[in-house]
Amino acid sequence: KNQVEQSPQSLIILEGKNCTLQCNYTVSPFSNLRWYKQDTGRGPVSLTIMTFSENTKSNGRYTATLDADTKQSSLHITASQLSDSASYICVVIPLTGANNLFFGTGTRLTVIP
């Protein structure tokens, strides 16, 4: 079983709407949790990095939250734009070492006009 599960697998929203992507993990303890955006045919771009003690981190219209008790993180996108169409990947890095980074399989977001 994957230690990082993302949902939904894919999502279609109208331009201007908000959306929330979920990341559930079982990795524990962990050093930090990261959200990346990956456009088709490009490398991932870092959106947020949160340590285990942080609850929220923002980057423009992107806000990541972390609930260590429920082992859930979410990425909220406000006022979506066409350029937000991409895959969003959650990554959990364990505290014991970086030899086993745990990647989610991503959520494919499509924003339509």
How many alpha carbons lie under 13 Å from residue 95 in its C-beta half-sphere? 10
Instruction: List all residues 6 or more positions away from 43 whose beta carbon is below 8 Å from its beta carbon.
Output: none
Relative to beta strand 10-14, strand 107-112 is parallel
Taking CB under 8 A as the rule, which mask of x and - marks residues 21-60 in contact with other proteins? Answer: ----------xx--------xxxxxx--x-x---------
Site membership for other proteins, residue 103 (CB under 8 A): yes
Nearest to other proteins of 15, 39 (CB atom): 39
Could you give phi then psi for residue 40, rounded to 5 degrees? Answer: -60, 130
Q: Which is nearer to other proteins, 32 or 74 (CB)?
A: 32
Should residue 64 be labelled a site residue for other proteins when binding is judged by CB under 8 A? no
Q: Is the peptide bond preceding residue 8 cis, with omega within 30 degrees of 0?
A: yes
- Binder to other proteins among 7, 55, 100, 110 (CB under 8 A)? 100
Sites of contact with other proteins (CB under 8 A): 31-32, 41-46, 49, 51, 89, 91, 93, 97-101, 103-106
